Structure 1
Amino acid sequence: MTSNHKGTHFFDTRFGRITALKENGIIKARSIRYALSERFQKPVPVDSFSEFAFPDKVPVCPQKLSPLVEKMIAPTPVDNFEPDESTQYLSIYRSENTIENKKLPVVVWIHGGSHEIGCGDLPTADPTEWVREQEIIVVTVSYRLGLFGFLGGNERRPPNLGLFDIIEALRWINNYIADFGGDTENITLFGQSSGGDAIAHLMISEDVDGLFQRVIIQSAPLGLRHKRQNMSAEFLKKTETLKDEADIFKMMDNYKKYVPSVMKYGLKAAMPFGTQYGFPPLCNEEEAIERWKENAKKYDVLIGLNNNETAFYLKTSEALNKYFGKGWGLKIMDKTVETTTEFIYGNPAKQFAQNLADSGGNVYLFRIHSQLKENQIGAPHCIDLPLIFGNEEAWKRSALLKDIPWKNIHENGQKLRALWAEFAQTGNIADESERPEILRLQKL
């Protein structure tokens, strides 16, 4: 490992020489390709580079921007991104000031976005602040999404390709992260929303033994995982005309016409892409719970949610607020948020955690609340992101935080980051460790 002039760092690894940026005490090796793929084919690992420099733009899986995400979280810096169907890239963040030869715990970030949007390198999930505060390495992973990664059902269009991408990234991390100062015996997967759903299913996937030791699952929509086969088959059939389309932008414009109906399939159609049981690397759906129980002792688990998850979708709707924004309408809205949050996130997380604990697993269950009376939206989906990642500049235009002082986010977030880093280091959270006031945490 050698250093060059200020602003640049070189990692001489078994994978090859990798150029990284040094900025404010943090070393960032961005957009390292860990695998390659053809359309609708499994990823093929990239074995080595003689010398690797990051691309000028961040590679992302082709996707349609979400107006809700653009409004509530932040506008996507599209000029900084480059669409790439073969989206197998990862980035590595670590402190410049680490003790020589010390092995650091590794946190692998699996982003959310309904298995349809996002990437590993969004400014709103930049782990710089977390890495600066805690002695950890964070690896962010990009993988195939939507039509390319989470829809399939036959030999020509296999399902679960996004899961296979993540597994390939984990193999790369196990092979090379020691060259960056990481501990291959101390790897924690951390995912939010559909990223948490992916992690839960990686716990019962084939050929993952030894690739990770702990998981942090935040706001996983596990209540939408059931009986998706008919919906996925219909979606697959209707998008058959798009499978050979050369113009990826045309694919993105057209697939929305075929998204399954919520009226026909219920709430699960709100996340039309997803992990599919009965196809590699997953078991049949009816076997899943027993598989989780069988694997309970393999992984330390920290799982939880935000108290008002679905307020992100319901209380931000201008159409709904027109009728349910005050008086009895607001009471109906609050009850709907409570009911749907428990159905999609709360009860499934509690049952998931209890099943593992009853089977001998080391399991923590948490819930994030809002303490601000003036914050009418409460603690909705994605409120955990600024708490974990900080980065005030990236969140300054977020409608999600418009009633929340950044001081509140920073003070609670700093404590939460310390707890999650403690779990990543040891698999436990000590009783005497300071909790933020917004957190309810219990060991089962």
Structure 2
Amino acid sequence: MKPQQKETYVFNTRFGKITALKEEGVIKAKSIRYARSERFQKPVPVEYSGMDITFPDKTPVCPQKLSPLVEKMIGATPVDEFEPDESTQYLSITRPEHIIENEKLPVVIWIHGGSHEIGCGDLPTADPAEWVKEQNIIVVAVSYRLGLFGFLGGDEKRAPNLGLLDMIEALKWIKNYIEDFGGDADNITMLGQSSGGDAIAHLMISEGVDHLFQRVIIQSAPLGLRHKRQKMSAEFLKKTEIIKDETDVYKMMDDYGQFVPSVIKYGLKAAMPFGTQYGFPPLCREEESVEKWRSTAKKYDVLIGLNNDETAFYLKTSEALNKYFGKGLGLKIMDKTVEKTTDLIYGTPAKIFAENHAKGGGNVYLFRIHSRLKDNHIGAPHCIDLPLIFGNEEAWKSSEMLKDIPWKNIHEHGKKLRALWAEFARTGKISDQSERPEILKIQKIES
């Protein structure tokens, strides 16, 4: 029996004719290039050329090293379906197959996580089709430069914050063209998880973003690692100077690991050596950041939060640590370590961020996702929010993180969570009457 042939759909847009795929109730326009760049240079927006735009056979991704932990806990990366591309300015649009004529749907822009080092906008585990169909929204997934190419720099030859600048170009493209896909250009919500949430928080105080988005959903942003990174970044930049002109990107990816800053020397922030850098465009100086967030608070509705056991993703999955801390007194020490590090990196910074936003007159909600399963030793770790938001059972079937969690549990809680997040994207509010999953604690923060 032949596999079912996928049906195509053509969007006639002001950017050009864009060929998309119809499948299972949604239309996907994949890997649309929104900008171009040379190595270590700022992105240049792509202009209308009159040429037809078709999706590539393989998904373009920024060159990167696979993470054994991510491969184990989330699932194997389909590397055969990817094509390395240093100029990784692409976006993909997923919308319902059937919409009312002239209807303008709320738009959610997905900024993926991965420590500013790995991932892309188009992973099966973040396929938004389920959410799009349930809630009648449009989701735009953005890919951008990572690691050495996007989040390390600091001199005239290697500009910092290039990944952020890529995102800004994507936002401009979406603002200009999303109405041609049925989206509302004046109702745009940015959604980011982990380093994607960190990036969105910093986009709120970036130059050149006025009127490009109205709301943000920040999940599990490691804002506790954002402070005093200058010396670490300068050292990392200097040490990687010898590989900056390497033409073989695979060799470049193999080599840079030996130059990663020491956690012993720089503390926990060295666990995420790539990142946003204050004092360089489009960001202010670090000492100005809190006041800048407060002064822009009225511009953005904010939904920010975390999972209750974030660092269990790293600590409780370590065979070496489990050997000594997997039971008895050792397990109590492990649980306390997870609690303390989760609050240090994620919990307390999220609370401070929310309170500062409220003090600035902004509308803000703070949430926390818990595990309610008695036999789930890992609790609610980093990334547990992803299957809740995106669903896609097939994509998550090999996930070690979910091995003790029935998919029915994920689906039932996820459907309610997706409805709440879509409500926020539509209105900037979450009604007291809206149904909440029992795993979620959420509160509106008042000034």
Partners of 1:6 and 1:12 lie apart in 2 by 19
Tell me the equivalent position of 2:250.
249
2:111 matches 1:86: no
Give, in angstroms, the shift of residue 6 of structure 1.
7.0
Alignment correspondent of 1:34: 34
Distance 1:371 1:353, change over 3 A: same
Unaligned runs of 5+ in 1: none
In the alignment, residue 235 of structure 2 is paired with which amino acid? Answer: E
Q: Which amino acid aligns with 2:164?
A: L
Aligned mates of 2:159, 2:58 — CA distance in 1: 29
2:281 matches 1:277: no
Partner of 1:422: 423
Equivalent residue letter for 1:350 = K
Deviations 1:157-204 (A, max 9, x none): 010000000000000000100000000000000000000000000000
Counterpart-to-counterpart distance in 2, 1:414 and 1:349: 24
Is 1:13 aligned to residue 13 of structure 2?
A: yes
Answer yes or no: is 1:438 the counterpart of 2:439: yes
What's the CA shift for 1:358? 1.4
Give the aligned partner of residue 139 of structure 1.
140
The two structures, once aligned, show a CA RMSD in angstroms of 0.7
2:153 is aligned to 152
- Looking at structure 2, the residues matched to 409 and 327 of structure 1 have their Cα atoms a distance apart, in angstroms, of 29
Aligned residue in 2 for 1:107: 108
- Tell me the equivalent position of 2:211: 210
Corresponding residue number in structure 1 for 2:379? 378
- The C-alpha deviation readout for 1:132-162, integer Å capped at 9, x for no partner, is 1011100000000000000000010010000
Aligned amino acid, residue 396 of structure 1: K
Paired with 1:101 and 1:412, the residues of 2 have a C-alpha distance of 33
List per-residue Cα deviations over 1:300-325 (Å, max 9, x = no partner).
00000000000000000000000000
Cα distance in 1 for residues equivalent to 2:56 and 2:215: 31
Partners of 1:24 and 1:118 lie apart in 2 by 25
Q: Which amino acid aligns with 2:9?
A: H
Report the equivalent of 2:43: 43
In the aligned structure 2, how far is the partner of 1:129 from the partner of 1:394? 12
C-alpha distance in structure 1 between counterparts of 2:413 and 2:101, whole Å: 31
- Could you say which residue in structure 2 is the equivalent of 1:184? 185
Residue 25 of structure 1: CA displacement?
Answer: 1.1
- Can you give the 5+ residue segments of structure 2 that lack an aligned partner in the other structure? none
Q: How many corresponding residue pairs? A: 440
What one-letter code is carried by the residue in structure 2 that aligns with 1:204? I
Query: 1:359, CA displacement in angstroms?
Result: 1.4
Partner residue in 1 for 2:409: 408
Q: 3-state DSSP class of the match of 1:171?
A: helix
Deviations 1:102-149, CA, capped at 9 Å, x for gaps: 000000000000000000000000000000101110000000000000
1:333 is the counterpart of 2:340: no
SS in 2 for 1:400: coil
Matched, 1:353 2:354: yes
Name the SS of the counterpart of 1:399 in structure 2: coil
- 2:99 maps to which residue? 98
Q: Supply the distance in 2 between the matched residues of 1:29 and 1:238 (Cα, whole angstroms).
A: 40
Deviating runs (4+, > 2 A) in structure 1? none
* One-letter amino acid of the structure 1 residue matched with residue 319 of structure 2: E
The CA deviation string for residues 341-398 of structure 1, in whole angstroms up to 9 with x for no partner, is 0000000000000000111100000000000000000000000000000000000000
User: Which letter maps to 1:301?
Assistant: V
Cα distance, 1:253–1:6 mapped onto 2, change above 3 Å = closer
Provide the C-alpha distance between the structure 2 equivalents of 1:222 and 1:286, rounded to a whole number of angstroms.
15
For the residues of structure 1 that align with 2:25 and 2:340, how far apart are their CA atoms?
Answer: 45
Aligned to 2:187, what secondary structure does the other structure show?
strand
SS at match of 2:401: helix
Q: Amino acid of the residue matched to residue 113 of structure 1?
A: G
The residue type equivalent to 1:345 in the other structure is Y
Partner secondary structure for residue 417 of structure 2: helix
- What does the per-residue CA deviation read over 1:3-40, in whole Å, with 9 as the maximum and x for residues that have no partner? xx971100000000000000011000000000000000
Letter of the 2:383 partner, please give it.
Answer: C
Query: C-alpha displacement at 1:52, in angstroms?
Result: 0.2
The 1-side partners of 2:54 and 2:360 are apart by: 46
Q: Which residue of 2 aligns with 1:62?
A: 63
Measured against aligned partners, the alpha-carbon deviations of 1:251-297 in whole angstroms (never above 9, x if no partner) come to 00000000000000000000000000000000000000000000000
User: What SS is found at the alignment partner of 1:376?
Assistant: coil
In 2: Cα distance, 1:65 partner to 1:24 partner: 30
Q: Distance in 1 between matches of 2:374 and 2:341?
A: 22
CA distance in 2, matches of 1:100, 1:343: 49
* Alpha-carbon shift at residue 430 of structure 1 (Å): 0.5
**One-letter amino acid of the counterpart of residue 412, structure 2:** E
Note if 1:238 corresponds to 2:239: yes
Alpha-carbon separation, structure 2, partners of 1:252 and 1:25: 39
Percent identity over the alignment?
A: 80
TM-score, normalised relative to structure 1: 0.99
User: C-alpha separation between the residues in 2 aligned to 1:191 and 1:24?
Assistant: 25
Secondary structure at the aligned position of 1:205 is classed as coil
CA offsets, 1:44-94, max 9 Å, x none? Answer: 000124200000000000000000000000100000000000000000000
Indicate the residue corresponding to 1:71 in structure 2: 72
Distance 2:95 2:101 in 1: 13
Residue 365 of structure 1: SS of its match in structure 2?
strand
Letter matched to residue 29 of structure 2 = A
Partner Cα separation in structure 2 for residue 290 and residue 284 of structure 1? 11
State the AA in 2 paired with 1:274: G
Question: How many angstroms apart in 2 are the aligned matches of 1:173 and 1:47?
Answer: 13
CA distance in 2, matches of 1:171, 1:351: 30
TM-score, normalised relative to structure 2: 0.98
In the other structure, the counterpart of 1:201 is: 202
What SS does structure 2 have at the residue aligned with 1:52? coil
**Paired residue for 1:173?**
174
